[in-house]
Amino acid sequence: MTPRIEALKQYFVLDKAHHAVRVPAPGAEGAPYRDAALPAHRRSALRLKAALEAETPVIFPEERIVATRTRPALPGIFTEEEWRGIESRHFIHERGYVSNLSPDYERILQEGLIAQRARLQNGEYGDSVRMTIDAVLDFARRYREEALRQGQTDIAARLERVPAYGARTFPEALQSLRILHYAMWCEGEYHNTLGRFDQYMYPYFQRDRESGALAPEEALEWLEEFFLSLNRDSDLYPGMQQGDNGQSMVLGGTARGGGEGFNPLSEACLAASRELGVIDPKINLRVNRDTPLSTYLLGTRLTRRGLGFPQYENDDVVIPGLIGLGYAPEDAQNYVVAACWEFIIPGKGADIPNIGALPFASIVNRVLRETLPSASGMEEILAAVRAEIFAEARRMVSAIRDIYMIPAPYLSLFFENCVERSRDISLGCVYNNFGFHGTGLATAVDSLAAVEQAVFAEGLSPQELLRAMDADFAGADALRYHLANECPKFGDDDGRADRFASILLADFADALRGLTNERGGCFRPGTGSAMYYISHAEALGATADGRRAETPLPANYAPSLGVKLRGPVSLIRSFTKPDLARVINGGPLTIEFSDTAMKDEDSLMKVAALVREFILRGGHQLQLNTLNRALLLDAQAHPENHKNLIVRVWGWSGYFVELDKCYQDHILRRAELTL
């Protein structure tokens, strides 16, 4: 890291000194975008115009890539009364904005914004999109004027070119991308991902490197400044928790048209993230059976940094899985991840990959309470579980009707055929699939395995088990110990438990197969949990695996909390037995390591080999967390001393001290049994 980058990190990330330029945004009352007579797309365009006009161009010392928020708030385009009316008539997902998408930056970086005007149709919608283009160009113009005022002629020269016209150099492309991405947040969209950055930015990087315009260390310095720019305003970006902002970046994988996509820019991105040690961008690494161990080793060196990066995606599972859901092979080959792990297609996908979650643990718990006393064996219980999974899936599907999303005319520029057809991205695109997470899988599996052993093999009466569960195992310590520690567990490479995981995930896939949403898309099952691992545990009660009522569920595709497993190899063997291509909405196996597990080259190599083994065995997605429980406890007690302690939460990384206590406590529970 150069002294200039160190100074920028200190200023923006550690000291947050740039917050001093923030001032309240103008009020919405009387604003043109609140005119109820206007169509919503025009109101969105007017609000983006107003938001960018309200920004004050600020260029900080040592800065070369500009654009910083000075107006934190973004007023809504609807009055409260209008929004209540919309809510009464429609299904509203989260905040009602378009989110969790991957724009096609490549085309606009190459062509510039002015060239996009030719794609617009005459009419009201085309006029709205044109207004957003002009607003972004005016924003860049005012920054150029500020650069000239300060004598920053190099910055001014770049802004004279981009984003109006196509970028020619790596610095121009980075500056253009910064402004294009920045404006999306000002339109209201969130979880705006960065997609396959190393693929669409590589031509600029390669050209400058081969021409000698940028030495390796200069290119890395530009890249690191761009990464820092993603951390400037991220505290203003909405999410479930601070840090949950969706600025994910995908590296490597199969290149479009075939061949290896991991390139020198991919490697530079891993190095930049490792050097900077910041939460954005959130690094993902696509791999496959042919990925060399050297690439896994680069990823493991980043893991050792303690950021929760990279998250790995297996092309050998994901691409066929997406094709099986109806994605064209060339699009499946170009997949990226959304904010956390959900698989989406850049420039074509208007999927909503996190629209709900199936509660595996609750379903199994409910079925056991209803059917166990009279069941003759496990097959009867499994049949009842399958029926309930089907019923729950249909309940979730039927709840999603007349969905409404706030129009996004600027974002629509980045998606195939939206502006050409005057059809906003909020109404859909090429792919319009919805995704359901699946929570508490390990708890459900362990409960079924415990019932099979304790009740049907050992003769424990169903009534005794259910009474103990109703009492939260009060006065039944010996039984609870047996269920929690002596019955088969998912993650121990024990077929007596693992078979139930395969059955439950297959049931989930079967339950959604053939169902379509109102936009003509399918419903995708997945193994993630998102934030549901907290809420789905709250009313669950004690479970048959010996879990007490207050114990949280595991996050994502992970073993039950507090379970002592034989080791990471058995864990990987268990979690790669199900057919994961059928549950390809995404959701990583999460493995927690002690922060001492990668202390030397030999241990780094072992972890890299472990990741490769997961991929070779058919795992779909993997994330690794390095934790130090003593450090986390001290951070919880003395947050002022640990402001920059980073942890992996569910599908994103954030600063531990900024998390709500329930999420901090969950991470502490996960840290009790690190490998």
Q: What is the pLDDT of residues 364-391, one digit of tens each?
A: 999 999 999 999 999 999 999 999 999 9
Q: Which of 223-232, 519-528, 614-623, 649-658 shows the lowest per-residue confidence on average (mean pLDDT)?
A: 649-658
Highest mean pLDDT among 28-37, 171-180, 596-605: 171-180
24-40 pLDDT per residue, tens: 988 888 899 999 999 99
Q: Are 625 and 591 in contact (CB under 8 A)?
A: yes
Residue 551 counted as domain residue = yes
Query: What integer is the mean pLDDT of 465-471?
Result: 98
Instruction: Encode pLDDT of 178-188 as tens digits.
Output: 999 999 999 99
- pLDDT, tens digit, 9 for 90 and up, residues 96-136: 999 999 999 999 999 999 999 999 999 999 999 999 999 99
Query: Tokens 């190099």 identify what position?
Result: 154
In a domain, 313, yes or no: no
| 8 Å CB contact between 281 and 248 | yes
Instruction: Please tell me whether residues 406 and 334 are part of one structural domain.
Output: no
Over 70: is that where the pLDDT of 339 sits? yes
Q: Is 70 exceeded by the pLDDT of residue 7?
A: yes
Both tokens of 469, joined, read: 């569960």
**Amino acid at the residue 534:** I
Position 651 in a domain: no
Among 289, 311, 344, identify where a domain stops: 344
Q: Where are the beta strands (DSSP E) in 469-588?
A: 523-525
Instruction: Say which residues have a Cβ less than 8 Å from residue 571's Cβ, sequence separation at least 6.
Output: 491, 492, 493, 559, 565, 589, 591, 675
Reduced to 3 states (helix: H, G, I; strand: E, B; else coil), residue 340 is coil
Q: Using a CB cutoff of 8 Å and minimum separation of 24, what contacts does 114-121 make?
A: 114/164, 114/165, 115/165, 115/166, 116/413, 116/419, 119/413, 119/419, 119/420, 120/419, 121/419, 121/420, 121/421, 121/422
C-alpha–C-alpha distance, residues 430 and 415, integer Å: 9
Distance CA 352, CA 75 (A): 24
> Where among 583, 618, 652 does a domain terminate?
583
Residue 617: pLDDT over 90: yes
622 belongs to a structural domain:
no
Give the Cα separation of 108 and 118 in Å (integer).
Answer: 13
Domain end marker among 552, 583, 614: 583
Helix (H) or strand (E) holding 570, with range, is helix 568-575
On whether both 372 and 432 belong to a single domain, the answer is yes
Contact 600, 543 (CB under 8 A): no
Mean pLDDT over 487-497 rounds to 98
What is the reported pLDDT for 673? 61
* Mean pLDDT score, 649-662: 92
Q: Are 339 and 375 within one domain?
A: no
Distance from C-alpha of 50 to C-alpha of 44, rounded to nearest angstrom: 10
The answer to whether the CB of 655 falls within 8 A of the CB of 643 is yes
374 and 338 in one domain?
no
Asked whether residue 139 is domain-assigned, the answer is yes
Mean pLDDT of the chain: 96
- Cα–Cα distance, 130 to 487 (Å, whole number): 64
Q: Does residue 177 share a domain with residue 60? A: yes
Q: Where are the alpha helices (DSSP H) in 32-169?
A: 40-54, 80-89, 105-111, 124-149, 153-161
Q: Is residue 675 part of a domain?
A: no
Confidence category of residue 675, pLDDT binned at 50, 70, 90: low
The CA–CA distances, whole Å, from 637 to 351, 521, 648, 661, 666 equal: 41, 48, 19, 11, 15
In a domain, 523, yes or no: yes
Per-residue pLDDT, averaged over 169-175, amounts to 99
Give the number of other CB atoms < 10 A from CB of residue 498: 23
Q: Rounded to whole angstroms, how far apart are CA atoms 165 and 176?
A: 9
pLDDT for res 595: 86
Do 153 and 131 belong together in one domain?
yes
Same domain, 334 and 376: no
- Per cent of the chain over pLDDT 90 is 92
Kindly state whether residues 90 and 235 are assigned to the same domain: yes
Give the mean model confidence (pLDDT) for residues 158-162.
99
Q: Are residues 332 and 438 in the same domain?
A: no
Given a cut of 90, whether residue 258 has pLDDT beyond it is no
In which band, very low, low, confident or very high, does the pLDDT at 641 lie, cut at 50, 70 and 90? very high
Residues 115 and 136 in one domain: yes
Same domain for 573 and 438, yes or no, is: yes
What are the backbone angles phi and psi of residue 264, rounded to the nearest 5°? -60, -30
Peptide bond into 639 cis (omega under 30): no
Q: Which residues contact 508 (CB under 8 A, 6 or more apart)?
A: 358, 360, 389, 393, 438, 525, 583
- What CATH number is associated with residue 94? 3.20.70.20
Position 653 in a domain: no
Do both 387 and 264 map to the same domain? Answer: no
Range of the domain at 88: 3-268+326-344
Domain count, the chain: 2
pLDDT tens profile 527-582: 999 889 889 999 899 999 999 998 999 999 999 998 889 899 999 999 999 999 99
Residue 597 has pLDDT above 90, yes or no: no
Measured distance CA(419)–CA(249) in Å, rounded: 26
Contact residues for 290 (Cβ-Cβ < 8 A; gap 6+)? 260
- Percent of the chain scored above 70 by pLDDT? 99
Write the CA distances from 411 to 114, 130, 189, 440, 628, integer angstroms: 15, 12, 8, 35, 41
